[in-house]
Every structure is written in structure tokens, then in C-alpha cells.
Homo-oligomer: A and B are copies of this chain.
Amino acid sequence: MKNYIKHVVRIFFALFFPLIISAQEHPSLLVTKANLPALREGVKEFPLLKNSFLDIQQSVDDELINELLVPTPQDAGGGYTHELHKKNYQLLLNSAICFQVTQDVKYLNLSKNILTAYAEKYQDWPEHPKRKENHPSGRIFWQNLNDCVWLVNAIQAYDLIVSELSSQEREIIEKDLFIPMAEYLMISHKAVFDKIHNHGTWSIAAVGITGLILNKPEWVNKSLYGSALDKQTGFLKQLDELFSPDGYYAEGPYYQRYALSPFVLFAKALHNYKPELHIFEYRNRLLAKAIETVFQTSYTNGLLFPLNDAIKDKSIKSNELILANNIAYSDIDTNPTLLGMAKRQNKVIISDAGLKVARDIFLGKSKNFDYKTTLIRDGKDGKEGGIGILRHGDEDTQQTLVLKNTTHGMGHGHFDRLNFLLYDNGFEVFPDYGAARFLNIESKSGGHYLKENNTWAKQSIAHNTIVINEASQFDGNVDRAEHFAPTHITLYDHDTLKYVIASESHSYPQTKISRALITIQINELKKPLIVDVSYIHSDNALKTVDLPYYYIGQVVDQRKKDVEAKVSLHAFGEKNGYQHLWLNSSYALQSHGDYITLLSNYKFYKVHFASQSPHNILNHVHLGADDPQLNLIPTRGIVLRQENLHEAVFAQLIETYGDINPTDETISDANPAVKNFKITPAEKNNFNISFEVGARVFQLETDLTDNIISNIKIEQL
């Protein structure tokens, strides 16, 4: 049995060619001619490649019986012609893949027919009737972006089948479809083509890849260096500008996933055609970092951190990230932890890269993906804040803390600097709401962002961060938020003590806010303790300083046993998101000894509160006020509030315990361990936080420099 495997593998090694692309030899992009025999064998032998291919083949076979429809474009996103033209480009590419793998001519004919049908009609289509003012239009779709995506897919399909086409067929498809389409994108919509923006990346990727396949060096050069060829725009400039040196994309993980695709596809095409560019080495392997970073900004359950506008279901299994992972492993760095990620994705792309990944997994080379405690810097120089991530424990049970202090993220940014997320045991504990949007649900504003995305989801109060005077950061002004970078973020990672400290001095006038998230591993406790400290200092008198924690689960205990039993409710506030919260109850916190205990996915999370303020209030809130269309997802939280002050400290300690077995109806490790969590009266430049575990007293010394938390030390007293 083993010998048989070895034998088979030896054959593959022999067949698996390194990259040598002869000019105009096809296929030449994700699949290359030299590797076709190995790919066809690999689809039979390597389970991951086989299953991934069978899924695609099934999707194509399901469509083979249907009539090909290429209607005149008329509907906006989600509408009939929109969805149909989307389906057509996917079918076109998938069928071309099926042809190269199976060599069955029915797939060739389907792809050819789709291209020919579009070639017949494309030039008669004017600008799309549902285009929007001030938004670049397409001809197949309401917006330019989708036309670019159409071309990126179609040109890959063409590359896969062009060697089977007659010269007459080629001429029709190139002259009536690809050339006018590329010129439309490059010339008619030059502003998009030259824009340093994700939409620009799609445009240059579409034109650039098409230029490589059709042998149009001028198109390729314009895609690389901008239409003026002055390198002020174009692909390289985009690589310089759109990512931080750590490969972070300012719109956040959800959009980074999407933005990566044209970068990866165009880079892979350049890698094949213009190896002398060393595109994957560009800017210290920037694309490899960007791919690594999107995985690092996910939790071990596979879901991306839903920072900024984000659909919360989006996971590492999305097709864009499968492509990115496969290319990263195959063409940049054969790091076996990428195979671990590919195993979690449970799918590969049908390509040279997917073959290599599936083969190496089959050969047992895979290692678990390396989820890191790390600081991901933002800003093109890496000096504009970032995201701090603290992780502890194995994949299944990992405790993960996220502190966000990035640049705003353009139109998809949320006003959520110093936002904190907590994951544990495979689930969210303190979540981010993500975007207010029901993607693809026509009845919910056509599947677009809802009004509540602005009135709730983007507002500061929708996040686990400091909110002053019931106003959002930067008063909810995107331009100002874009203008001011976060002040700083640092990460310290020691064996038993880890922390992130971040600060922000621009989001409220004459006010500095800093926050430290600290994890402390104490021997007898299964999970690290979490200390969350915020320090707010203002030259102005602050009327209210709020800190929400939205939570998953149920409050099962609190110091104050009975809150008010309400028979009527009022909204928590009037604007800036507060109008969407119902205020369930409020009570004054003691300076120490107060807590709530959450039961969340069969674990306890006890949040201890300490403060120096005599007016520290805990508000229980839930989402859903001023919601006439039932657009808001039920969400519960507490909002800590301090009032009428120049300086505030919020200090919380979160301990995790409890092992509840719902099947056996048993519970163990049911008791908290931390006592006497409190703040010791502050001196001028520091304050201390102390707590007890058993007979031991721990003290966190928090240094302030220029009214910002600058350092944390822990000692056992």
C-alpha cells in the first residue's frame, strides 16, 4: 500500500513542472500548460483536489441542461440580469476548468458559447441604465467594479480554452469583446483605472491580465505604472499605498479578503509572464504578509474579526482566501502552516497551486496554522496605529483578545478606535456588531447596507469602546476620522503577562483616551485573567463617559441581586446610536466588589468592576429602539458610565471558569477565584490595580506619561 503511494508520487514529481511560460503558450495563468498532465492525475489522486473539482463539475453539470441566457443588462445589484451575468462568468470559468481537467468537449463548447454570445452583444450595450450618479458605471452591471470582475474571470476562461479555438473564433472574441471591454475600462473609465483604491485594483487587474493574454504590452505597462506611465498610480503604487508594511488593509478584514483577489490574480499572472519583476518579493513580500494578516485577523472558529463594515458569517473558507492561501503556498513560501489553513478551508482552487497544496497535504507535510499573539501595524509606513491580538491556548478553546486602533477605513470604517473584542472556547463573548446589512436579502434594502448601518453600526456606542458625551468619535465625521491617525499602539508578549496598550488623542476635543488590555496567566487557573483598563483625561469637563460591553449569553449573577422591575422602557438616548438602545435598568456601582457574571456557551465570565469615581453607573441595555423595519439584530449589553469629570479610570477584570456539561447535566470548576479587585488611589503619574487569588495579592502598576497609559508592570505582593 505504502509502496504504491510512493510510486504514484514519484510520477507526480516528475510531471510537476517548475514555471516556464513560453510567450503565448496557453493556458498560462492559474493553470499552466506544462502542469496539465499532473493536474489531471492529481484530480484523481489527491482527495482535497478531487473533492474541490467534483464540486465545480457538479455546479457546471447542473447548468449544462439549461438554456444559455445573455439578456440586455437592466437590473441593479441582486436583480435578475445582475445575478444572471454573475452566474455566467462563474459558469464560463468553471466550465473552462472542467474542459482542461476532463478534456470533455461539452465543457469547451459551453465556455466558447458564452464568450461568443457576449462578443455578439457587448458592443451594443450602452452605459448601464441603473448606474448611479457619482459612482463609476459599467455596461454589464450597474457599477464598474462588477464589469472588472466579469473580465478578470472571463479572461482566465479564455486562457484555458484559446488553444482549442479557430483563428476566426479568437478574432471575434478578442475584437468584439475583450479589446472593447479593456479599452472601456482603461479609457472610458480612466479615473477608476488610475485610482488608488480597491476598485482601481480590479480595473488594472482586468486590463493587465487581459493585456498579458492578448499580448498587449502597452496595457500591461499602464496597469503596472498608471495610464500616464509615471508610476504615480498603477499596480505597484497600489501595493505601496493600500497596505501597511504588515499587510493590513485599512477597510478591515472583511474587505481585505475581497480586496486581495485582484492583487493575487494579477500578481500571479505577472509572476508567470514577467518573472523578472519579482512581484511576490515586492515590498518585502508584501502580498504574502497581506495573506498572512487576513488569516491572523480571524478567530480559530474560522470567522474573520467583524471590524468595520463586515458580514459576520464571512470566514477563512471564502473563495478569495482559498485562492490567496494556495498562491501563497505555491508561489511565495511553502510554509507548512499554510497547509494547515488549507485543511481548515477544506477546498483548493483547481490550479497548479491547488494541486501543489493538495499533494503536499496528501504527503503529510501539513502543520497547524500558527495563530499568533501579534501587533498588526496600520498606515503605509506602519505608524498609524494597528490591531493588537492576544491569544492563549489551543485552537478549540483559544482565548483571543482584539484591540482595534487603526486608521478609519474609508467609507467602510466604524468610529470604534480602542474597540475590544473577546473570543473564547470557540465563540464570541464580547462581540462586534459588524455591519447592519442583510447581504443578498432583497427585502432588506435590496441587500445593501441598511440605514441603521449609519445610525447604529458605525456609531461609537455600538462598540466596546469609550464614548464621550453621547457623541461618536470625530462627531461621526469620516473626513476628520481619516485625517487623524490613532496616537499609538504597542504590544508586550511575555510568557505569563501579555498586554496591548493603545491611545487616541484626536477623536474628542482636548481629550486623551488610552486603554490597556492585559492577560495574566496564574498557575492554578485554567485560563488567563483579563484586565481591561481605560484612562480618560480631558481639559474639558466631560458630562458622560461611557464604556459598553456587548455580550453573548445571559447575566446569571451580579452584586446587586434585584434591579428595577420595569413595566415601561425608554430609549437610552436620542442620537448617535443611543436612540436604538433600550435602557433596561441602571444602578450605582460600588468602588469595588461589584461584578456581573455571564454564562456564555457553557462557561462563566465574571466581570469585576473597580473605579475611583463616586458616580459610576451600570446600565443594562438592549438593542431595538427606533427600529420600524425590524432591521436590528437582538443584542444585549452593559454600559458603564461615569459623569461630570475631567479624568476617569475604568478598570475591569474578567475571569473565565466553569465547565458545564449539558448532556450529563454536570458542572465543575464552578467558582470564581479572584477577590478584592480594586484601584489604589492614583498618584500623579500612575495608579495601581490589585486583586487576590487565594492567599496571593497581585498588583498591576500602570504608568501614565503625558496622561496616557504608557507602561504596565505586575508584581506579587
Interface residues of A (CB under 8 A from B): 311, 313-315, 317-319, 438-444, 554-558, 561-571, 579, 582, 584-585, 597, 599, 620, 622, 624-630, 633-634, 636, 660, 662-667, 670
Contacts and interface: CB of A to CB of B under 8 A. Distances in A.
Contact of A440 (B571, B597, B622, B667): B667
A627 B565 contact: yes
A556 B626 contact: no
A278 B663 CA distance: 32
A146 to B, nearest CB: 13
Contact of A634 (B438, B442, B444, B636): B636
18 contacts: A311-B665, A313-B663, A314-B663, A440-B660, A440-B665, A440-B667, A555-B630, A562-B628, A562-B629, A563-B628, A564-B628, A567-B570, A567-B579, A567-B625, A568-B570, A568-B571, A584-B624, A622-B624
A453 to B, nearest CB: 15
A439 B665 contact: yes
Contacts of A597: 443
Nearest to A602: B313
A634 B624 CA distance: 12
Contacts of A571: 567-568
A662 B567 contact: no
A304 to B, nearest CB: 12
Contacts of A630: 554-556, 558, 563, 620
Of all A-B residue pairs in the complex, the 7 with the closest CB atoms, nearest first, are A313-B662, A443-B557, A565-B628, A569-B569, A440-B667, A562-B628, A555-B630
Nearest to A660: B440
A597 B444 CA distance: 11
A662 B434 CA distance: 15
A259 to B, nearest CB: 15
Contacts of A570: 567-569
A441 B668 CA distance: 11
A636 B634 CA distance: 9
Contacts of A314: 662-663, 665
A361 to B, nearest CB: 20
A663 B313 CA distance: 7
A569 B556 contact: no
A455 to B, nearest CB: 11
A441 to B, nearest CB: 5
A646 B222 CA distance: 79
A567 B582 CA distance: 8
Contacts of A662: 311, 313-314
A626 B665 contact: no
Nearest to A620: B630
A628 B557 CA distance: 12
Contacts of A318: 663-665
A94 to B, nearest CB: 12
Contacts of A564: 628
Nearest to A557: B443
B443 A556 contact: yes
Given A565-B627, A634-B636, 13 more contacts: A313-B662, A319-B663, A319-B664, A438-B554, A440-B667, A442-B670, A556-B630, A563-B628, A563-B630, A567-B570, A568-B570, A569-B570, A569-B582
Contacts of A585: 628
A599 B444 CA distance: 11
A624 B442 CA distance: 31
Contacts of A569: 568-570, 582, 625
A238 to B, nearest CB: 24
Contacts of A565: 626-628
A294 to B, nearest CB: 15
Contacts of A319: 663-664
